[in-house]
Structure 1
Amino acid sequence: MRIKKLEDNIIAKIAAGEIIENPSSVIKELMDNCIDAFATNIEIEFHNGGKDYIRISDNGTGIIYEDLKIAFSRHATSKLNSVNNISTIQSMGFRGEALPSIATVSNVELISNISSEGHAGKINLEYGSVLNVKPDVRTKGTTVVVTNLFGNIPVRRNFLKTTRSEIRKNYDLIKKYILCYPQIKFKVISDGRQYIETSGSGSLVELFAKIHSNELANSMIPVEYNSKNLEINGYISNVNIKKSSNVNINCFVNKRVIKNRIFNYAIERAYDTLLVKGNYPVCVLNLKLDPSFLDINVHPSKNEIKIRDEREIFSQVEKTIRLNLINYNTNKNDISSHGMQFDFNVAEKQTPHNLIIHNERKSDFKAFPNKNNSNIQEFILSENDPKNLIFEFKLLGQLNNSYILGEYQKNICIIDQHAAHERVNYEKLQFNSVNIINKQELLNPIILNLNIKENEWLDKNIKMMNKLGFDIESFGILNEWKINRVPSYLINKNIQSTVARIITDFTNNHSDNHNTDSRLKTLACHSSIEFGDKLSNMEMLKLIEDISKCKEPWKCPHGRPVLIQINEHELSKWFSRT
């Protein structure tokens, strides 16, 4: 088959497919244009998730009448004059591909005016073909209406998600722009109903209240860092805010809404051990870098960028957030500084089975007039010095061979023995790596029988297990292995079952096999005192002494609380004495 040049309409559709994937792609490109036009007011409206109708209006600088036609020519732009400018360009767009790509796969009407007078120009296009250009009337700014998206490419239109899914994509994208540009007034309408309208005041706290809640807004922690090559500012949530997905983690670079997994990962790493696995924070960070550190010309959609010295910046982001979390006193302006709230009505004779645990937190306990509400405080990142534990803790006993009960600072104190010991072991492994390689030889080697999946994993990772202190070798029979030596911290455990559980966990979490910290958490968990282990008074006091020496004692490595306390005031309310 001979090589031939593609026809212009085929080239246009291929190029458009790289930029316009769905309705949210259209909205993104048009919002970028609004921002580049210095708009302070942006209105977005769409029907049927944007499949049938999208309208974006702004009060920006506008497009002069004579440029309307060329604006839809490929690689026509007002934002780039020289190739040398690419390395320092700060505008959102510069490739001159957005408008022609949108016009190629939809019907477009654009009305624009560059002055405060009513004279404007209008252009209509049908799947890339200009229908007319004529005078019109509107105030200063631009309005773009996009209809029948992918009407000329049925295959692409059929691949669009349900209306509900497309609406969600649109909302998630627009929320990011709202948080990135709090100084711009946004108004969003979907199928005739207003979704959100912001004031454009520039206040992120105000936006948190509008998007989430007043309680969350008042508990956010401000973050600021400045150096020669990097500035970080924004807000992060305290550790009592827990979201089920990472959609609320926002990291913007030079006011660009981008997809950068490494910075999201840095933020998640900063919360590691402070949130239970599967919970995520709320975060809005703006990173300001010298434009010469960025390569924004990575993909036509401009969703991705490359950053010089990315790992150094990653480290600084993680460090900055972690320090702010540790230095923050959760007892101030904290949604759950009073911990979990229980409704406990004596008159109704409620039992533990119908006890209602309120997940909704209140920032001011005085707002609860019901005298039967109780307040159980979690000690997480608080100002309580852990060293006080060993001096002030009065041991009362052990509950159900699982919890250590005591009196601490005139309060009832309850310690989760497994979580506490897990924290102790994790920090020993983390800060004293010699414990990892200190091996104890077994007098009688133990034989493990693994399933096929575990056997394949161990066969591939036997060297890693050796580095962690295990001397394991194939027993010569399929799926059987001989344990000759184990790390010294496991010597008092049921070695066979413990090692089997460790291998099972490593196998099931194979994505974390190269994450040393994740492996240490698994080892710490399986080498710790378990629920149901009966402890002597000396063993409990030794554990309390050990936890008092930890750097981050109030949560286990997976983010669960180690210690809670109930004060006298709460007991009085439980017994209707207040």
Structure 2
Amino acid sequence: TSKIQTAADLEAITTKGFRGEALAAISSVSRLELITRRPDDEFGTKVVVEGGKEHPPITIGASGGTTINITDLFFNTPARKKFLKKPATEMGHVLSTITCHALANERVHFTFIHNGRRSLDLPAVSNRPERIRQIFGHAILDEMIPVSLDTPVLSLSGFVSRPTLSRNGAQHIFFFVNDRYVKDRLLHRALMNGYRNLLPAGRFPVAFLFFDINPHEIDINVHPTKQEIKFYREDAVFSATYGAIRQVWDTREDAKQETTQIFESLKKTTPHPYPSLTKTNADGLETAKQVYSPPENQSVKSVSYPIPPPPLPDEREIEPIPPSTEHTQTKSDDPSAMPRQVESDFIRQLNRKELQSADIHASDTIQEKPNVNENGINDLAQVDKRPDELFATKSLEGAGRLVVRGQLLNSYILAEGADGLYVIDQHAAHERILFEEFFLQAANKPLVGQPLLFPMTVDFSPDDAALLEEHEGTFKRLGYDIESFGPKTFVIRAIPIALNMEAAENFIKDLLGEFRREGSADEKRERALHTLACRAAVKFGDPLSREDMEHIIRELERMPRRNVCPHGRPNILFVSDDSLRRLFKRTGFS
């Protein structure tokens, strides 16, 4: 408040100090020591406050600047101290805060010492990429693409990850407005819209975006933490952010090429395509050989795809178009009236789920007049049923021994039962099988791990490193052998036998995102097994041999909850023999 002289100053605040009462508040529940010296003063001043009781200031020799030491937090209020989380959790919160400040102030040296150990040391650097490397390592920095945009409203710079690098949470998305870290839904929506059709559902990019905006155009006094912000011209900010992200994919040919690898990289999660489906040698030598074989370099064809224009202000979040409920479509010679065709394999691959849900009648044909029988009932009514009316979710009771008849779209197992046709989601079914196996194994002892011939070292962000130390026991029960190898580096000596090395590293980072969610230890353990089963299961698009499909069905028949996957989605759809006969007008005929 000492810097405010007129009412207009409130609209042009550029300082980033803490609230005035914060120092008094923290000193009332801790032991606080403040040492300060102005540049022109010969001596400094030391002030000590213990539990709100001030000691007389004293003059001491000190270096220029201000140092604040806070110790014994809540020493005089034990009732509040018991609400603190585990030391590793609290340290993670501190490291997260330091990370945000360090990203915004790369020319400042940050050090964090925990229990006498230097947990973080970030010397001052001259540029932001170097700061990103210090905190997150080379692996992250090498996957970043620069972003830059100047408009009359704002100036935007920073880095976003290639679509081949993603996380299962938004913990590595950082927004800074005038070098202040903020959490803003508007900016988050703009970023995610910029990645539309580039990331699988539930995946988030890594991003470091820095906005310079006239202080008159923003309000930082929305929340006491100063991490929430209001923009005067929200539409312009949204459009600029979205446009800057989409411009990356429009102008960088290498980025467009690499997006074709997204699903392929996510699919490569097992050393053998289906380790639980094939009974290989018991000593695991073949598995070990495949684990340590480096991936072959593969060239990727250059593809082109349309870049949609930035959405209008009222179209920031465009909902997917539901399947058509109309039965007919009018033929037209007007090209603009034709169904929009997706021309590249890249878009077809990314949008396969959406394309599969499209109306099967959306074709360029003229519908004949429906046939109506003497009772006024449309004979085609059964054919025009929605999929959820035609197919029913069903368990395998009463099916008899299923006979595999084939695989549809390399994604669904078609099997014949005594009472009709069974369509089985191969990924969901295998995920249920693996989850039940992992759950039973983990209840009694740790999952089997695969020792690595050559241990690998992995760098983590400071807060992820703290979280990993806190949950080290959980990772050991999943088959990992992980050991700290520095402030932010860990050495991995063994991984779950169901995963290869690349998948094992990504699984750790995704699981850390799961651990950030609220829940009991048992809930987090179950979510970890869910995630492990999902990563190790066969994927949509994986071709299966008849033996593999038979194995999935036989194992699924033994599962107690075989009709749904661990996430609650159905595994099995069923259409009865009677329904098929009605569809083909076979009722009443032999």
TM-score (norm 1): 0.50
Question: Does 1:114 pair with 2:33?
Answer: no
Q: Is the Cα–Cα contact under 8 Å of residues 187 and 197 in structure 1 kept in the other structure?
A: yes
Pairwise CA distance, 1:284: 0.5
SS in 2 for 1:189: strand
Q: Residue 17 of structure 2 is aligned with which of 85, 88, 93? A: 93
Pairwise CA distance, 1:498: 6.0
- After TM superposition, the structure 1 = structure 2 runs for residues 150-161 of structure 1, keeping only pairs within 5 Å, are 150-161=74-85
Q: Residue 531 of structure 1 is aligned with which of 387, 406, 411? A: 411
Distance in 2, matches of 1:192 and 1:237, equals 35
Q: Residue 165 of structure 2 is aligned with which of 233, 238, 241? A: 241
Pairwise CA distance, 1:82: 3.0
Q: Residue 330 of structure 1 is aligned with which of 254, 258, 262? A: 254
- CA distance 1:174–1:421, shift in 2 (3 Å): closer
- CA distance 1:154–1:81, shift in 2 (3 Å): farther
Distance in 2, matches of 1:93 and 1:440, equals 73
| 1:185 corresponds to | 109
| 1:375 corresponds to | 297
Question: Does 1:496 pair with 2:389?
Answer: yes
Pairwise CA distance, 1:152: 3.4
SS in 2 for 1:172: helix
Distance in 2, matches of 1:443 and 1:492, equals 16
- Runs of 5+ unmatched residues, structure 2: 273-280, 307-344, 373-379, 395-407, 415-537, 543-590
Distance in 2, matches of 1:231 and 1:418, equals 35
| 2:225 corresponds to | 301
Encode CA deviations 1:333-371: one digit per residue, 9 max, x unaligned. Answer: 979989758989xxx99999767468xxxxxxxxxxx8x
- After TM superposition, the structure 1 = structure 2 runs for residues 255-404 of structure 1, keeping only pairs within 5 Å, are 255-330=179-254, 356=290, 373-376=295-298, 383-385=302-304
- CA distance 1:158–1:373, shift in 2 (3 Å): closer
Q: Is the Cα–Cα contact under 8 Å of residues 29 and 51 in structure 2 kept in the other structure?
A: yes
Distance in 1, matches of 2:201 and 2:40, equals 54
Encode CA deviations 1:138-194: one digit per residue, 9 max, x unaligned. Answer: 110111111222333333322221111100111111111111111222222222111
Question: Does 1:199 pair with 2:123?
Answer: yes
Q: Is the Cα–Cα contact under 8 Å of residues 218 and 333 in structure 1 kept in the other structure?
A: no
Question: Does 1:169 pair with 2:93?
Answer: yes
Pairwise CA distance, 1:94: 7.1
| 1:546 corresponds to | none
- After TM superposition, the structure 1 = structure 2 runs for residues 203-222 of structure 1, keeping only pairs within 5 Å, are 203-222=127-146
TM-score (norm 2): 0.49
Pairwise CA distance, 1:240: 0.8
Q: Is the Cα–Cα contact under 8 Å of residues 343 and 374 in structure 1 kept in the other structure?
A: no
Q: Is the Cα–Cα contact under 8 Å of residues 411 and 540 in structure 2 kept in the other structure?
A: no
Distance in 2, matches of 1:333 and 1:496, equals 40
SS in 2 for 1:286: strand
Distance in 2, matches of 1:493 and 1:204, equals 53
Q: Is the Cα–Cα contact under 8 Å of residues 88 and 292 in structure 1 kept in the other structure?
A: yes
Q: Which moved more, 1:173-182 or 1:93-102?
A: 93-102
Pairwise CA distance, 1:92: 1.1
Distance in 2, matches of 1:440 and 1:307, equals 55
SS in 2 for 1:144: strand
Please tell me the root mean square deviation across aligned C-alpha atoms, in Å. 4.7
Distance in 2, matches of 1:439 and 1:529, equals 27
Q: Residue 50 of structure 2 is aligned with which of 102, 126, 150? A: 126
Encode CA deviations 1:319-341: one digit per residue, 9 max, x unaligned. Answer: 32122134333379979989758
Q: Is the Cα–Cα contact under 8 Å of residues 411 and 539 in structure 2 kept in the other structure?
A: no
Q: Residue 226 of structure 1 is aligned with which of 132, 147, 150? A: 150
Distance in 2, matches of 1:287 and 1:154, equals 42
Q: Is the Cα–Cα contact under 8 Å of residues 151 and 240 in structure 2 kept in the other structure?
A: no
Question: Does 1:139 pair with 2:54?
Answer: no
- CA distance 1:107–1:532, shift in 2 (3 Å): closer
Code of the aligned partner of 1:158? K
Distance in 1, matches of 2:346 and 2:413, equals 14
| 1:544 corresponds to | none
Q: Is the Cα–Cα contact under 8 Å of residues 175 and 210 in structure 2 kept in the other structure?
A: yes
- CA distance 1:307–1:423, shift in 2 (3 Å): same
Encode CA deviations 1:189-230: one digit per residue, 9 max, x unaligned. Answer: 222111222232232221222222313212311111111111
Distance in 2, matches of 1:492 and 1:357, equals 47
SS in 2 for 1:244: coil
More strand by share: 1
- CA distance 1:531–1:199, shift in 2 (3 Å): same
Distance in 1, matches of 2:243 and 2:381, equals 37
- Runs of 5+ unmatched residues, structure 1: 1-76, 359-369, 388-413, 445-483, 502-527, 535-559, 565-578
Distance in 1, matches of 2:95 and 2:119, equals 9
Q: Is the Cα–Cα contact under 8 Å of residues 305 and 347 in structure 2 kept in the other structure?
A: no
SS in 2 for 1:374: coil
| 2:177 corresponds to | 253
Q: Is the Cα–Cα contact under 8 Å of residues 419 and 562 in structure 1 kept in the other structure?
A: no
Code of the aligned partner of 1:280? F
Pairwise CA distance, 1:287: 1.2
- CA distance 1:441–1:303, shift in 2 (3 Å): farther
- CA distance 1:164–1:497, shift in 2 (3 Å): farther
SS in 1 for 2:56: strand
SS in 1 for 2:196: coil
Q: Give % identity.
A: 24
SS in 1 for 2:180: coil
Pairwise CA distance, 1:102: 1.9
Q: Which moved more, 1:280-289 or 1:318-327?
A: 318-327
| 1:64 corresponds to | none
SS in 1 for 2:221: coil
Q: Is the Cα–Cα contact under 8 Å of residues 248 and 281 in structure 1 kept in the other structure?
A: yes
Aligned length: 346
Code of the aligned partner of 1:181? N
SS in 2 for 1:320: helix
SS in 2 for 1:280: coil
Q: Is the Cα–Cα contact under 8 Å of residues 219 and 334 in structure 1 kept in the other structure?
A: no
